[in-house]
Structure 1
Amino acid sequence: MTKFNGFISVVIPTNVSVTKENEKLVIAGPLGKLSVNLKSKDTKGILSYKITETTIDLAVLYNTKHAFAFVKTLASLLEQKIKGVYMGYMCKMEVKGVGYRVSVENTSDVCNLVFKLGYSMDKIYKLPKYVKAFSTSQTSFCLYGLDKSYVNEVAAKLIALRTPDAYQGKGVLKTGTVFRLKQVKKR
Structure 2
Amino acid sequence: MSRIGKRPVTIPSGVTATVEGQTVKMKGPKGQLQFVVHDDVEVKFENGVITVAPRFETNRAQAMYGTARAQVANLVEGVTKGFEKKLEITGVGYRAAMQGKNLQLALGYSHDVVYPIPEGITVTVPKPTEITITGSNSQRVGQVAAEIRSYRPPEPYK
Q: TM-score, with normalisation over the residues of structure 1?
A: 0.77
Where does residue 128 of structure 1 map in the other structure? 118
Q: What is the deviation of 1:81?
A: 1.1
Q: What is the deviation of 1:63?
A: 2.2
Check the 8 A contact 1:8/1:72 in 2, yes or no: no
- The alignment of Structure 1 onto Structure 2 pairs a total of residues equal to 157
**Cα RMSD (Å):** 2.0
Unpaired stretches in structure 1, ≥5 consecutive residues: 169-187
**CA–CA distance in structure 2, aligned partners of residues 29 and 160 of structure 1:** 32
Q: Which of 128, 131, 147 pairs up with 2:137? A: 147
**CA–CA distance in structure 2, aligned partners of residues 17 and 64 of structure 1:** 32
User: Aligned to 2:8, what secondary structure does the other structure show?
Assistant: strand
Check the 8 A contact 2:24/2:36 in 1, yes or no: yes
Q: Which of 79, 89, 94 pairs up with 1:85? A: 79
Unpaired stretches in structure 2, ≥5 consecutive residues: none
Greater radius of gyration (CA): 1
**CA–CA distance in structure 2, aligned partners of residues 16 and 53 of structure 1:** 13
User: Aligned to 1:96, what secondary structure does the other structure show?
Assistant: coil
Q: Which of 87, 93, 99 pairs up with 1:99? A: 93
Q: Residues 30-86 of structure 1: CA distance to partner in whole angstroms, max 9, x if unpaired?
A: 110001123xx22xxx32222124111222232233222211110001001110011
Check if 1:115 corresponds to 2:105. Answer: yes
Q: TM-score, with normalisation over the residues of structure 2?
A: 0.90
2:145 maps to a residue whose letter is A
1:100 maps to a residue whose letter is Y
Q: Percent identity?
A: 31
Check the 8 A contact 1:114/1:124 in 2, yes or no: yes
1:37 maps to a residue whose letter is V
**CA–CA distance in structure 1, aligned partners of residues 157 and 6 of structure 2:** 49
**CA–CA distance in structure 2, aligned partners of residues 147 and 56 of structure 1:** 19
2:153 maps to a residue whose letter is T
